[in-house]
Amino acid sequence: MVFYRKFRPQTIEELDSKEVREKLYNALKSPEISHAFLFTGPKGLGKTSAARIVAKSLNCEKKTKGIEPCNKCNQCISITNGTNMDVLEIDGASNRGIDEIRDLREKIKLSPMSARKKIYIIDEVHMLTAEAFNALLKTLEEPPSHVVFILCTTEPHKVPATILSRCLRMQFKKATEEELIRSFERIIKKEKLNGEKNALRLIANLSDGSFRDGVKILEEMAQVARNKKITEELVQKNYLIASIQYQIAQVIRSFEEKNTKKALEVVAKLTSEGVEMGHFLQGLIETLHNSLLLKVGVELAGDSAFIIDNSKLEVREIKRLIELLSVAKSELKYAVLPQIPLELVIIEWCSFIRDPVPVFLPENRSSASSQIGVAKSPSDHAPQLTASPVKKDTVNIVQQDIAKYSENDALWNALIDKVKTYNHSIAGVLRGCNIKNYDGKLLLLETNFKFHKDKLGEIKTKEIIEKACQEVTRKNVKIIVELKKPA
């Protein structure tokens, strides 16, 4: 992020938010300068930059326009560099205890070394402990005239009201389109770039009110344009591809961490942006396929756009994900909402497939149904949805069936989901069963409950399952349901 650092605002005039600029002009013009400022708002909106500008404005040796810092004198330069002994930046998250604040109170009494004012910038101030807040409050009640506090926080509701009432508060909000464009134009002018107004507007829209994100996109686009004009078309083409690659990487990282929430958030974002799901799934599968080839030592031919560095997934995990996602892709045309097949893979992978023992073992399926109120069979002692001690026979089942199971697993989930589109209660009954054998022609199901066997044996029910199975496998498959023999 070269541009972001290079073009960090150095004067009040250069601050991005109009509201903040005006408030600061007024606050610093007044003969009675406040002893404490509180800057609130989300990350990336320039609170720390503004705090340093205030420090410079208060200590500059040759102020221009009354309050703007010159950025040339010793005070200004050392504050910009972070070497000024009288301007102290404290991270509230790592200095949150009473000892640190007591220490601070002792030192506050001493006069500044070279500056007019001693400035304490406390970042993430909401992280301070209650005792530390008390100590800080005492200082704020009777501050020495040479001290100014600038408190910054993303979570003002966690700052005690007694502190809030003693601060001049300024809220940093998400930037408007106009404010973002103003900042981009400042950079474009200084870097002698050539950018269409519509391209800047599109970048502003892509950056969701964050200057930091917007400037980052502008920088990328300047690199892609290579001295030529940054056009709307160029941004559209490059940013959307870059964005999809980025989202694919996010989903794969979530698969590695089994982070359902994070992965589903990406899908929600894609949906809201109107990304075509088939295209995204294609890219995701291609990326995993490339990872798989790299992992087994095959060099990739050509230059694929879809590559992820150092995936932590193992070969068999990647193989499994490709299978699940391929089923999801083929399911896409039947899906009620286009995001559903991918969401189901995410939930399945992150929540239900555990290593080395998958949770949805044949036995666990029956205990899952016992939880929804179906009578337990004698062989079904303890529910095993959690990682409770694994029963001996469960281990045997895993060892015998793990290979077969993982092959049938994708089919089973796809089948249940397909049946669900016809009839929810049949899908519910199927969840209480498991595949005993499948050879491409015959699907042998097993259940612990006679009630399930009878229900699935009904002609209408069988027709639905066979129809769903035909759609998922593209084969005519006969279904047989057996009652599981007691262990």
Please give the residue ranges that form the binding site for Zn ion (CB under 5 A): 60, 69-70, 73, 76
What token pair was written down for 434?
Answer: 């498991």
What token pair was written down for 244?
Answer: 């999809």
How far is Cα 309 from Cα 49, in angstroms, rounded to an integer? 34
Q: How far is the CB of 180 from Zn ion (least distance, A)?
A: 28
How far is Cα 346 from Cα 252, in angstroms, rounded to an integer? 10
- For residue 183, which of 160, 164, 201, 162 has the smallest C-alpha distance? 201
Q: Tally Cβ neighbours within 10 Å of residue 104.
A: 18
Task: Supply the DSSP symbol for 111.
Answer: P
Q: How far is the CB of 95 from Zn ion (least distance, A)?
A: 28
Is the CB of 77 or the CB of 374 nearer to Zn ion? 77
Beta bridge partners of 443: 438, 479
Is the CB of 33 or the CB of 73 nearer to Zn ion? 73
Q: How far is the CB of 172 from Zn ion (least distance, A)?
A: 24
Q: How far is the CB of 76 from Zn ion (least distance, A)?
A: 3
- For residue 446, which of 384, 389, 365, 391 has the smallest C-alpha distance? 365
Is the CB of 76 or the CB of 397 nearer to Zn ion? 76
Q: How far is the CB of 74 from Zn ion (least distance, A)?
A: 8
Q: How far is the CB of 37 from Zn ion (least distance, A)?
A: 19
Spell out the residues 6+ positions from residue 365 whose beta carbon is closer than 8 angstroms to its own: 431, 432, 433, 434
Q: Which helix (H) or strand (E) holds 122?
A: strand 118-123
Q: Which amino acid is at 388?
A: S
How far is Cα 214 from Cα 414, in angstroms, rounded to an integer? 41
